[in-house]
Each structure stands twice: as C-alpha cells, then as structure tokens.
Amino acid sequence: MCRDNAGNVSTASSLSFVYDSTPPVLGSLSSYPIDDGVSLTWKLSSDVAGITVRRAAGRSAPKTVYAGKRSSTFVDKHLRNGVTYTYTVVATDKAGNTATVKTTTRPSALLLGPRRQARVHGPVALRWRPIAHTGYYNVQLWRGAAKVLSVWPSLTSYHVGAVWTYSGRTYRLSPGRYTWFVWPGRGSKTKHAFGPLLGSSSFVVTG
C-alpha cells in the first residue's frame, strides 16, 4: 500500500513468478563417421527448446553449424576425410538454462571394396568399415534403376555370387554397372530401424 502527500492511497497487486534454475538433460552423444561427413545423435529431456551444434576442425575456432529448434540428430556434410573434428552440442530450455556435451570423430570412406568404378569379373566381395553399436547392416545392390538385392548381414562384408534369389526372382551377375549402398542397423532386425547411409559406390562387371 502507498500513500501520497495528499493522503491518497493505492494498493499494488502482488506479482509472483517461478524461477527455473534447473538445467535441461542432454546426454548419450554419439558420433558416426560417414564418407565426407559426420552423423550425430543424442538424447535430451522434454524441456529442451533449442539446440546449437558447433564444429571445430583440429585447433581452429569453433563454428556454429546448427542453431535452431529442438532436435536429437544432426548430419554434417561436405567435410574432409581423415580430418579430426570436435563437436559441441548445447541444449537450451525456455528459461535459458543450458547443458553441453562434446565428442570427437574423423570422417572416412566407409566402403572399402571393390574400389569405386572398379572393373570386376565373376563374384564380388563387398566390404565396409564397422560402425560402433551396430549389430547388423542393410546392404542393397542396384543395377540401373532396379534393386536386385537387399540383405542384412551382421558382418562387415557380403559375398555377391554369380547367381542369387531376391524377392522371388533369380538374378545373375551379368555384365553391367552396379551400385551398392550400406546402412547401419539400429536395435533388432524386426524394427527395420537404420542410421544414416554409410555410403554408396559402384563397380562394373565385365563380360
């Protein structure tokens, strides 16, 4: 209550607010190297309102590569294979509280063989680098615009024979250009959940 020199009285209404000083929860940051890029995943609490991702190459100053709405994944492309990158992920809640996690990774060509545009004769061994926390992979083989094979090996290689069966049809490794793709599996095979594409390559089967 306030009183002025003339005796007028006014009563101010009380204001109350809730002060939130609890930072959000951000953790389980994982980085997966891909060809010329990096895939990041993390877990966060429901109160997170925004995410910032900063990248530093070697000893260079960090650069913001993402600043936006709530997200639990980020794929950074157009990087250099063999260079070590440090990522800092910052989660911010509506009250401005933050949580920060870091990780370091190095992009690399994940598909090992056959080399890109290799000319082969006869059966082909497809090979790729292992990815952490991956129990199986999805490997697809295409000839032109047609998918001719899709398998889910648990190892990091697959042997394509001269003849195979896919989706009820019989195929032969006949002369031509083939393209293959590899995705890392997530969880059980029955969920059909896959991470970002590891990469793609092509080879030519000669007559």
Give DSSP secondary structure letters for 141-162: EEETTEEEEEE--SSSEEEE-S
Residues 125 and 47 in one domain: no
- pLDDT for the residue numbered 207: 78
Residues 118 and 93 in one domain: no
Per-residue pLDDT, averaged over 61-80, amounts to 95
Residues 99 and 124 in one domain: no
CB atoms within 10 A of CB 173: 21
CATH of the domain at 63: 2.60.40.10
- What confidence tier does 133 reach under pLDDT thresholds 50, 70, 90? confident
- pLDDT for the residue numbered 12: 52
End-of-domain residue from the set 40, 73, 105 = 105
Residues 99 and 116 in one domain: no
- pLDDT for the residue numbered 196: 83
Determine, yes or no, domain membership for 2: no
Cα 162 from Cα 139, distance rounded (Å): 17
Residues 91 and 155 in one domain: no
Alpha-carbon dihedral sign for residues 151, 155, 160, 164:
negative
Residues 130 and 201 in one domain: yes
- pLDDT for the residue numbered 109: 84
Give pLDDT tens digits for 179-207: 999 999 988 888 888 888 888 999 999 97
Determine, yes or no, domain membership for 143: yes
Q: Tell me the pTM.
A: 0.60
End-of-domain residue from the set 86, 105, 124 = 105
Residues 153 and 198 in one domain: yes
Percent of the chain with pLDDT over 90: 67
Determine, yes or no, domain membership for 1: no
- Does the pLDDT of residue 66 top 90, yes or no? yes
- pLDDT for the residue numbered 2: 53
Determine, yes or no, domain membership for 62: yes
Residues 55 and 137 in one domain: no
Q: Which of 158, 104, 148, 94 shows the shortest CA–CA distance to 126?
A: 158
- Does the pLDDT of residue 7 top 70, yes or no? no
Residues 97 and 115 in one domain: no
The number of distinct structural domains making up the chain is 2
- Does the pLDDT of residue 9 top 60, yes or no? no
Cα 34 from Cα 11, distance rounded (Å): 66
Domain that holds residue 122: 111-205
